[in-house]
Structure 1
Amino acid sequence: MLSRTADSLYWMGRYTERAGNLARGMQVALRMAGLGESLGDTDNEWRSLLVATGAEPGFRAEHAEVTPEAVIRWLAIDAKNPSSIANCIEAARSNGRAVRTALTVDMWEALNDTWREMRLLAGTATDADRLPGFLDWVRARTLLFNGAAADTMLRDDGWRFVHLGVMLERADNTARLLDAKHTALDGPESEGAVAYAQWQALLRSVSALRSYQWVYHTRLQPKLVADLLILRPELPRSLLACHRKVDQVLDRIAESSGGRRGACHRLASEAHAGLREARIEDILAGGLHDFLTRMIDRNLDLGREIADFYLHA
């Protein structure tokens, strides 16, 4: 496969997943902001979401203060934010168009229809009465694209690069969400009703609240919330599940290209092995924030090595 084709497929997967993750995060922030009003702090959730999405530096460069309205617009539709939902949909469609013949009809229609509808919705997407419906729509369109890819794409290198992009983006999102809420899991703020609401919000952001109840059969506990989102292989958005897929997909790509391997394969294998052998007690004892910071840095390194080895050749 040509590196430019692999690059477009990989980034199409990443941008589509990123749009859905942003919508999930914004839905949770909207819920939590309501709780913040009763506590006299309406902006904390939006600051937290900016940090979790990695969008804070760009936002600060354009805005003097954090307000819900400014953050919502920045994350949803602002053209100056390259990772806004609107720009992610634009970039995913652009990458898909560049490799149109590598996509199935269902995948292309999911991408193109989303792009066309986004252009119609952008003008009113952040209105208070329309925002919840818009975020539901983004999540649904992301699920539609992922379903189209899973159900219709040949399991060849094209599929593998799309899946690789989705899984690496998902791993990065889970680590950032956890890090943004780490004080509610292992810090001085991990007790009381507010912390409990934070744990619920965190699980809702990755559609894992019911999964928690199914796995643990007990009330929410910070240690178990962290365990589910980091180490449980059954949860599709846990760090372990995502890095297992990244490791496996890179192995299959290497096998299909004559066995050639590079630093990205080593990093993926090390990340997977480290998570597979980890214990939540050890992670918490060593500091959840430090652990997650290392994971975020490792994801960045892995993304760079994948690009150098496969996408920029």
Structure 2
Amino acid sequence: MLSRAAESLFWLGRYMERAEATARMISMGQRMAMLPGTQGQSEWTSLMQATGTPPPEERAITEADIVALLILDPESPSAVQGCLSKARENGRAVRTALTQEMWESLNEDWRYLESMDTQTARRQLVQILEWVRNKAAIFRGAVETSMLRTEGYFFLRLGSNIERADMTLRLLNVKYFLLLPETEVVGGGRDHHQWMSMLHAVSGLRAYHHNYAGDYAPWNIADFLLLNQAFPRSVAFSYGQIDGCLAKLEKNYGGAHNCQRTARAELNRLSRLDIHAVFSDGLHEFINDQIAKTARISKEVSDAYHF
């Protein structure tokens, strides 16, 4: 496969995953902003910080800012509309590598957000976020049920899982930024509902309950999102998928690369970690370190396959 085709498939996977993850993060921020005793500002500020989007200067961040900057901005690689546009551009660049079902899922309603202004999008925010999640699910279903398991598939899935690991880490950072101004002890009522909002955001409430039988302690939820190797949106599970995709690419192309060694080492490290040690050493520090390592794997993939 040509390196430019591999690059397009890799970033197609990343942008579709990012669009969905951003929608999920906004849903979580919306839930947190509605909690008793909140004014919404810190929730939206934390969301901007976690996505790395520059906030408006010298004024409080509002829901309207979130809609404009994280949903409707067509140029931003962090905004839903920008992600979907870039995903379609990458898909068009490798049209012959996509199945008809994949191409149709990319093209269906792709101009849906273009005609919306901020006020309209705010009124329809719940429906828009649901539409994004559904669009990503349809694309993912088309990939899984119609694409040959050749190198193109593994580059696409590699991009998706690198992005998923990164966005789960950033979602946890939303919680960290919210804790900065808090005076309430960890485990209080508001703290509990914020952690619960995270499980809703990743569609993990029932799976979590199956594992922990209703014990919603913060360290258990962090353990579930970081170290659980059976939950599809956990960091450890995503690293397992990354390692598997790189192993398939090694088999097809021959020769191991730094990205594979880095991913395997991180997967092994995550399997040995204890969440209480992570909290003791600093959850925020761990998350930032893991975001940096995920970015390193992405860079090493680009270097290994020349894109």
- Decide: shared fold, TM above 0.5: yes
Equivalence for 1:292: 287
> Distance between the aligned counterparts of 2:248 and 2:234, measured in 1?
21
Residue 84 of structure 2 corresponds to residue 110 of structure 1: no
- For residue 238 of structure 1, report the CA deviation from its aligned partner: 0.6
CA contact (8 A) 2:11 2:90 kept: yes
How many residues in Structure 1 have an aligned counterpart in Structure 2?
305
Segments of 5+ residues of structure 2 without an aligned counterpart are none
**In structure 2, do the counterparts of structure 1 residues 203 and 309 end up closer, same or farther at CA, with 3 Å as the change threshold?**
same
- Residue 175 (structure 1) aligned to one of 151, 169, 182: 169
Equivalence for 1:48: 46
Residue 299 of structure 2 corresponds to residue 304 of structure 1: yes
Q: Where do 4+ consecutive residues of structure 1 move more than 6 Å?
A: 183-188
Residue 3 of structure 2 corresponds to residue 3 of structure 1: yes
> Distance between the aligned counterparts of 1:83 and 1:225, measured in 2?
26
Equivalence for 2:237: 241
- For residue 119 of structure 1, report the CA deviation from its aligned partner: 3.4
- For residue 72 of structure 1, report the CA deviation from its aligned partner: 2.0
Equivalence for 1:69: 64
Segments of 5+ residues of structure 1 without an aligned counterpart are none
> Distance between the aligned counterparts of 1:59 and 1:185, measured in 2?
19
- Residue 124 (structure 2) aligned to one of 113, 126, 130: 130
Task: Note the aligned Cα RMSD (angstroms).
Answer: 2.0
Matches within 5 A, 1:207-226: 207-226=203-222
> Distance between the aligned counterparts of 2:82 and 2:270, measured in 1?
33
SS in 2 for 1:115: coil
- Aligned AA for 1:138? V
- For residue 184 of structure 1, report the CA deviation from its aligned partner: 7.4
Equivalence for 1:90: 85
CA contact (8 A) 1:18 1:169 kept: yes
- For residue 126 of structure 1, report the CA deviation from its aligned partner: 5.0
CA contact (8 A) 1:29 1:46 kept: yes
- Aligned AA for 1:127? A
- For residue 182 of structure 1, report the CA deviation from its aligned partner: 3.4
- Aligned AA for 2:45? R
Normalising to structure 1: TM-score of the pair?
A: 0.92
> Distance between the aligned counterparts of 2:221 and 2:187, measured in 1?
14
Q: Deviations over 1:180-203 (max 9, x none)?
A: 213779996422110011111111
- For residue 64 of structure 1, report the CA deviation from its aligned partner: 4.8
CA contact (8 A) 2:41 2:60 kept: no
> Distance between the aligned counterparts of 1:83 and 1:106, measured in 2?
26
Matches within 5 A, 1:177-196: 177-182=171-176, 189-196=185-192
> Distance between the aligned counterparts of 1:161 and 1:281, measured in 2?
35
CA contact (8 A) 1:11 1:92 kept: yes
Equivalence for 1:12: 12
> Distance between the aligned counterparts of 1:125 and 1:23, measured in 2?
18
- Aligned AA for 2:121? D
> Distance between the aligned counterparts of 2:39 and 2:114, measured in 1?
34
- For residue 218 of structure 1, report the CA deviation from its aligned partner: 2.3
- Residue 148 (structure 2) aligned to one of 146, 154, 172: 154
Q: Deviations over 1:243-273 (max 9, x none)?
A: 0110111111011002x22221111111111
CA contact (8 A) 1:51 1:180 kept: yes
> Distance between the aligned counterparts of 2:61 and 2:301, measured in 1?
35
> Distance between the aligned counterparts of 1:183 and 1:125, measured in 2?
27
Q: Deviations over 1:36-64 (max 9, x none)?
A: xx425321111111122222xx3347x75
SS in 2 for 1:79: coil
- Aligned AA for 1:27? S
Matches within 5 A, 1:227-238: 227-238=223-234
> Distance between the aligned counterparts of 2:177 and 2:84, measured in 1?
32
- For residue 150 of structure 1, report the CA deviation from its aligned partner: 0.6
Equivalence for 2:248: 252
